[in-house]
Amino acid sequence: MAEHDDHDHHGHHHGTSAGHTHAPAPKDFGTAFAIGTALNLGFVITEAVYGLLANSMALVADAGHNLGDVLGLVMAWTATVLARRAPSQTYTYGLRRGTILAALANAMLLLVTVGAIAVEGVRRLIEPSDVASVTVMVVAAIGVVINGVTAWLFASGRKGDINVRAAFVHMAYDALVSVGVVAAGGVILLTGWTRLDPLASLVIAGVILAGTWSLLRDSVGMSLDAVPAGINPDEVDAFLKAQPGVAAIHDLHIWPMSTSDTALTCHCLMPGGHPGDEFLVHLAHHLHERFHIGHVTIQVEVDEHIACALEPAHEI
C-alpha cells in the first residue's frame, strides 16, 4: 500500500496497494459563522418582538425562518469545528461526516419552518387583522442589510462546501424575502389590504421550500454515499482504465467523506505485475487534481486468472 499526503511532508509506504491524497483543508469560516450567528440571532429577537407588536404574520414568519437559519448556522459551525478533530481508534475517519448530518438536519429544520408558517398564514387569511405596516417596513429593511452582509461573508466558499453553500443560500434568500416584506408593508400602508400580510407569509414559505429542495436533495444523497455532484463516475472509470499497465477496473466506489472531502476505492487488474508505490502516488495526485478526489485507495491485482469476489458490478 502506498500513501501520499499533501501536507508538509511526504507519505509513507507499506503493505500492498493503496494510495490516498488529502485535499487541502477548506477555508476556515469560523469568523463568518460567529458574526453571522450573532447578527441573525439579534435580528430574530428584534423581528419577533416587533412582529408581535405590529400584529404582522409576515414579520413573525420571517423571524421564524431566520431562527431556523440561526440554528442551521450553529449546527453547520459545530460540525465544521468537529470535522477538524483528529481521527481516533473509534472514529477512524474523524468526525468529518458530521458536516453532512448538519446539512441534512438544516434542511429538515427548514421544512418544519415552512409548515408552521403555512399553517399560521392560512389562519390569518381566514381571520385577517390590522397590521402596523410602517413598523413592518422598517424592521424588514434592517433584515435586508443583516442578511445581505451575512450572505456576503459566505459567498467565497459557496462552491466548495455544501454547509457553506447552505449558509449563503439561506442568507441570500432571507435578504430577498425581507425585500418582499418591505414591499408588502408598503402596499398595506397605501391600500389597507391587510390580507396581503398573510399572503406574503405564504409566499415566504414557498420561497423557503424552493431554496431548501436542492439542499435537502444533496444532503440526503451525501448521507447515502451518493457520488458527489460534479464527479462523473464513467469519466473516472475511463481515466483509471487508461493508465499504463491497467487491464481492467472493478469495485469502483466514490463517495463523500464530508461536505468537502471525497473518497475513492477500486481494484485495478495489472497483469504485468505490481507497478510500485511511485505509480500509486502519481495516480492519487492526478485523481485529486482532475476530479478533486482527496482520499484514494487502490488495490492492485496481478493475476488475471484468479477471480476477485468483488468483480461483478453489483457486488459491494
Q: Which of 21-35, 62-76, 93-107, 271-285 shows the lowest mean pLDDT across its residues? A: 21-35
Identity at 173, one-letter amino acid code: Y
- CB-CB contact of 263 with 294 (8 Å): yes
- CB-CB contact of 288 with 26 (8 Å): no
Q: Which of 16-30, 65-79, 176-190 shows the lowest mean pLDDT across its residues? A: 16-30
SS3 267: strand
pLDDT attached to residue 255: 94
- Please tell me which residue, 310 or 28, carries the higher pLDDT value: 310
Q: Residue for cell digits 435537502? A: 216
147-164 CB burial, b ≥16 within 10 A, e <16? bbebbebbeebbeebbbb
Note the pLDDT tens digit of each residue in 71-86.
Answer: 777 877 887 787 788 8
Residue 16 has pLDDT above 70, yes or no: no
pLDDT attached to residue 289: 92
Identity at 174, one-letter amino acid code: D
What domains are defined for the chain?
Answer: 1-23+228-316 (3.30.300), 30-223 (1.20.1510.10)
Residue 279 has pLDDT above 50, yes or no: yes
pLDDT attached to residue 23: 38
- Please tell me which residue, 254 or 7, carries the higher pLDDT value: 254
pLDDT band at 69 (very low <50, low <70, confident <90, very high): confident
Identity at 89, one-letter amino acid code: Q
Phi, psi of 224 (to 5 degrees): -100, 15
Note the pLDDT tens digit of each residue in 211-238.
Answer: 778 778 888 998 999 998 889 999 999 9
For residue 110, give the C-alpha cell.
Answer: 427548514
- CB-CB contact of 152 with 175 (8 Å): no
pLDDT attached to residue 151: 84
CB count, 10 Å around CB of 304?
11
Alpha helices in the chain (DSSP H): 30-53, 57-83, 98-126, 133-154, 162-191, 196-223, 233-241, 277-291
CA pair distance 160, 253, nearest whole angstrom: 21
CA pair distance 121, 117, nearest whole angstrom: 6
Signed CA dihedral, 117, 122, 128, 133: sign only: positive
CA pair distance 80, 83, nearest whole angstrom: 5
pLDDT attached to residue 247: 92
Give the CA count within 13 Å in the CB-facing half-sphere of 24. Answer: 5
DSSP state of 157: G
- Please tell me which residue, 18 or 265, carries the higher pLDDT value: 265
For residue 303, give the H/E element and its range. Answer: none
Residue 20 has pLDDT above 70, yes or no: no
* Radius of gyration of the CA atoms of the chain, in A: 25
Identity at 245, one-letter amino acid code: G
Give the CA count within 13 Å in the CB-facing half-sphere of 132. Answer: 14
pLDDT band at 256 (very low <50, low <70, confident <90, very high): very high
Q: Which of 8-17, 27-36, 77-86, 100-109 shows the lowest mean pLDDT across its residues? A: 8-17
